[in-house]
Amino acid sequence: MGRDHDPPTALLRRRPVSAKRTLSVPGIAYGGDYNPEQWLEEVWAEDMRLMREAGVTMVSVGIFSWALLEPSEGSYDFSRMDRLLGLLHENGIAADLATPTAAPPAWFFRAHPEALPVDRDGRTLSYGSRQTFCPSSPAYRTAALRIAGALAERYADHPAVAMWHIHNEYGCHNAQCYCDTSAESFRRWLRARYGDDLAALNHAWGTTFWSQWYYDWDEILPPRATGAVPNPTHQLDWRRFCSDELLSLCTAEREVLAAAAPDIPATTNFMVMQNFDALDYWRWAPELDVVSNDHYLMSADPASEIDVAMSGDLVRSLAGGPWLLMEHSTGAVNWQPVNRAKRPGELRRNALAHVAHGADGIAYFQWRASKAGAEQWHSAMLPHSGTDSRIWRDVVRLGADLKALAEVRGSTGTAEVAVVWDWNARWALELPSQPSAELRFQDLVRSWYEPLWREGVAVDFVRPDADLSPYRLVLVPSLYLVDDEGTANLTGFAERGGTLAIGFHSGAVDENAHVRLGGYPGAFRQALGVRSDELFPLLPGEQVPLSGGGTALLWSERVRLEGAEAVTSYEDGPLKGVPAVTRHSYGEGTTWYLATHPDPATLASLLTRIRTEAGVAPVRTAPEGVEVVRRRGSSADYLFVIDHTGRGAEVTVADGAVELLTGKPVPGTVTVAPGEVAVVREPRER
């Protein structure tokens, strides 16, 4: 059952940036997923008319068309796609043409039942929805590359095709398959990782524990349901493998497409929020010409505008510049327990906030709301109720807004603060049998990001081993796992004069999830000037008063000062008098340790102090809840002012400023009406 694809180490080779192709659609692209196969062709003419009315410039087509494009193995029917691409071209709308590989047809599974995925408990899932295939299946790989190749051959020179949309949201439903084929593939990946040295794997996994020592590669399985907790490093390597396995499918499709159409850029849509954690996007982003992301609001989030901003900052950081918002929603989705509609003006605020945080294109799932199928209750650009609807009016208005923002394209962020984000640390933190099961990586990062957002401080996200020289302040809300290289990079930043603030339970384990001995927080102990000898996680709801005011939540530990000073200490409980937050002069710089999770107001005032001492200022002074974001172009800055308060605001701008959405000069001050958005061009001295 051998399979012919790149070993995992080959995935680490980065494509040179110069080899990246760019999207030819001008200005800020606007559109959505377009699934006209759900409708009679009479409807398509109306779609074209309405797309033009809304200012749509690019749509993603064919994402779920496999069953119609390839009615039986190797026989194709491109007639519908020919007509569709022709129609789009006649109407001046570009196609982001998808490989339909996220939804193999029923005939494929009847011929290859072994390609169905198996869950952790050993259940084989059935076809009948989408993305129900085993990522390691050779039959799936062959079939996916065959249809991708056939599409590429046929449409490589089609004038409508501006980009390839590879697959759809890799790993959304099938990131982990536990079948025997996946087991074989996992073993191949492990052999490459450990240089064919089984003893090295045994040491890395600590398999002397619970009699898990492996004598033969074939003994190693995916971490299937077992009687007690599986080995942590086994689980961690499994998560790494699963991300790489899907990436190898993506790069294989990319190569097939590039062979037929060397000039057409390729993307695949990421999902960096919504608590999706299956893929290490730091490894994925360099493999794509264009980084794109899907973002949906969570109904239960009381401040989802902050999630939009954090998502945008993370995707911009992954892309190293502008990116595309491939999907979001005009209103309610259909996959949460209760699906909240957007409030007045929220559609516009959301879309323009994504642009503010670096998006050079805005698209929705989907163009026309379905009347049948699993997503019939999901909002769309053209709702069930038709054009006499608030959503449609907002969609048309947004099209005009995006047209007015064409010159913003290509401009980038200006952050002086970097927040460390790492999927390996996230996976390891959330493994079972931790000191506390209450720690959620995304929530911890969000809790630090939120006060910065409220103050209007610009933020980039970075890997632990990133170049930190552009930043004054590096924040590490949660980095349970870190290797020696990441440790040296972060502490070296402080040593050379930067300010480094680190959250509790960071630096605890190395890349194999082995505890760093000698006291906590292992890797960062010396740089932080502290040493803890015992951890005291707090129970859900438990609060401990802090000496400077406020309370400690989630976590505490018995910190001893080894050079650092105490900023605040516990006032009660078993750790009464023990430091909870510390500050240390380290080399030329300063380090902070937040050995607990202070309540939100206390955390906010600490972060204000930390960033002020580091010399970091907000982008512009504005009332809380008025989001101000800057994109920097070659000769001008673009200041996005978004009122989330419902009260409107006035913000100081440069004398020669012009508001782009209205085209009006706004010398000195811009006024934003309640719930509205302004985008101000401020000329910049070269």
Catalytic residue ranges: 169, 327
Paired strand residues for 107 = none
Per rule CB under 6 A, count of chain residues that contact ligand GLA: 9
Count of CB atoms situated within 10 Å of the CB of 44: 17
Q: Is residue 297 at the binding interface for ligand GLA, with CB under 6 A as the rule?
A: no
Judged by beta carbon, residue 169 or residue 511, the one nearer ligand GLA is 169
Judged by beta carbon, residue 132 or residue 231, the one nearer ligand GLA is 132
Measure Cα distances from 189 to 47, 109, 136, 204, 230 in Å: 47, 26, 11, 15, 19
- Tell me which of 296, 461, 471, 504 binds ligand GLA, using CB under 6 A: 296
Q: Shortest gap between Cβ of 359 and ligand GLA (angstroms)?
A: 16
Q: What angle do CA 446, 379, 673 make, to 5 degrees?
A: 65
Paired strand residues for 368 = 382
Q: Shortest gap between Cβ of 294 and ligand GLA (angstroms)?
A: 4
Considering only residues 126 to 185 of the shown chain, the ones binding ligand GLA according to CB under 6 A are 168-169
Beta pairing class for 636-643 and 626-632: antiparallel
The helix (run of H) or strand (run of E) holding residue 489 is helix 484-495
Q: Shortest gap between Cβ of 277 and ligand GLA (angstroms)?
A: 16
Crossing angle for the helix pair 346-356 and 304-319, to the nearest 10 degrees: 30
- 95 vs 81: CA distance, rounded Å: 11
Q: Shortest gap between Cβ of 389 and ligand GLA (angstroms)?
A: 19
Q: Is residue 294 at the binding interface for ligand GLA, with CB under 6 A as the rule?
A: yes
Q: Shortest gap between Cβ of 73 and ligand GLA (angstroms)?
A: 25
Q: Is residue 365 at the binding interface for ligand GLA, with CB under 6 A as the rule?
A: yes
Q: Shortest gap between Cβ of 587 and ligand GLA (angstroms)?
A: 45
**Residue 613 has which token pair?**
């001492």
Nearest CA to 135 out of 166, 164, 99, 170 is that of 170
Judged by beta carbon, residue 375 or residue 430, the one nearer ligand GLA is 375
Q: Is residue 591 at the binding interface for ligand GLA, with CB under 6 A as the rule?
A: no
Q: Is residue 650 at the binding interface for ligand GLA, with CB under 6 A as the rule?
A: no
Torsion of CA 70, 76, 77, 83, to 10 degrees: 100
Give me the count of residues in the chain: 686
- Tell me which of 378, 454, 583, 631 binds ligand GLA, using CB under 6 A: 378
Judged by beta carbon, residue 168 or residue 478, the one nearer ligand GLA is 168
Q: Is residue 511 at the binding interface for ligand GLA, with CB under 6 A as the rule?
A: no
Measure Cα distances from 150 to 97, 108, 153, 259, 353 in Å: 13, 16, 5, 12, 38
Q: Shortest gap between Cβ of 442 and ligand GLA (angstroms)?
A: 17
Judged by beta carbon, residue 47 or residue 327, the one nearer ligand GLA is 327
Q: Shortest gap between Cβ of 364 and ligand GLA (angstroms)?
A: 10
Judged by beta carbon, residue 61 or residue 439, the one nearer ligand GLA is 61
Judged by beta carbon, residue 181 or residue 330, the one nearer ligand GLA is 330
- Tell me which of 96, 289, 327, 557 binds ligand GLA, using CB under 6 A: 327
Judged by beta carbon, residue 347 or residue 479, the one nearer ligand GLA is 347
Own/partner pairs for 540-544, CB < 8 Å, 24+ apart? 540/438, 543/599, 544/570, 544/571, 544/572, 544/573, 544/575, 544/596
**Residue 190 has which token pair?**
């492990």
Q: Is residue 333 at the binding interface for ligand GLA, with CB under 6 A as the rule?
A: yes
Measure Cα distances from 142 to 170, 259, 391 in Å: 17, 16, 42
Contact (CB, 8 A) for 512 and 603: no
Q: Is residue 501 at the binding interface for ligand GLA, with CB under 6 A as the rule?
A: no
Q: Shortest gap between Cβ of 266 and ligand GLA (angstroms)?
A: 17
Count of CB atoms situated within 10 Å of the CB of 211: 6
According to DSSP H, which parts of 225-269 are helical?
232-260
For residue 205, the 8-state DSSP code is H
- 329 vs 37: CA distance, rounded Å: 20
Contact (CB, 8 A) for 250 and 281: no
Q: Is residue 375 at the binding interface for ligand GLA, with CB under 6 A as the rule?
A: yes
**Amino acid type, 236:** L
- 386 vs 162: CA distance, rounded Å: 29
Count of CB atoms situated within 10 Å of the CB of 23: 22
Judged by beta carbon, residue 330 or residue 569, the one nearer ligand GLA is 330
Alpha carbon 421 to its chain's center: 10
Judged by beta carbon, residue 342 or residue 378, the one nearer ligand GLA is 378
Q: Shortest gap between Cβ of 365 and ligand GLA (angstroms)?
A: 4
- 470 vs 419: CA distance, rounded Å: 13
Sites of contact with ligand GLA (CB under 6 A): 168-169, 294, 296, 327, 333, 365, 375, 378
